[in-house]
Amino acid sequence: QKEVEQDPGPLSVPEGAIVSLNCTYSNSAFQYFMWYRQYSRKGPELLMYTYSSGNKEDGRFTAQVDKSSKYISLFIRDSQPSDSATYLCAMSGANTGGFKTIFGAGTRLFVKA
């Protein structure tokens, strides 16, 4: 079993829809939770960074962490065609050896105009 599970999709939604992306994990020691966005043939870029449980909002993006359920989510409101990309969840913690960052497989998102 992988440490971080993420549905690879693809997920296709119409413009303006609310998008929900999710990851589950097995390592209870993860403390830092991230979402990266990756456009085609580009390197990933950090989108959201949260510590421990709770919610964090940044514009149209909201990240949620539920450590009791080992479940994290990214919500995108009013989705735009420019949001079409692969979204990777990522996690790290004190016991991942040098705070190594572990990534999910990534979910491909298509937002149709």
Partner 1 sequence: DAGITQSPRYKITETGRQVTLMCHQTWSHSYMFWYRQDLGHGLRLIYYSAAADITDKGEVPDGYVVSRSKTENFPLTLESATRSQTSVYFCASRAGVTGELFFGEGSRLTVL
61: contact with partner 1 by CB under 8 A: no
Minimum distance, C-beta of residue 27 to partner 1, in the bound complex (Å):
13
CB nearer to partner 1: give 17 or 56. Answer: 56
CB nearer to partner 1: give 72 or 90. Answer: 90
Exactly one of 59, 68, 82, 97 binds partner 1 (CB under 8 A); that residue is 97
Select the span of 14-22, 53-61, 64-72, 90-98 touching partner 1 (CB under 8 A): 90-98
44: contact with partner 1 by CB under 8 A: yes
Query: Residue 103 phi/psi, 5° resolution?
Result: -105, 150
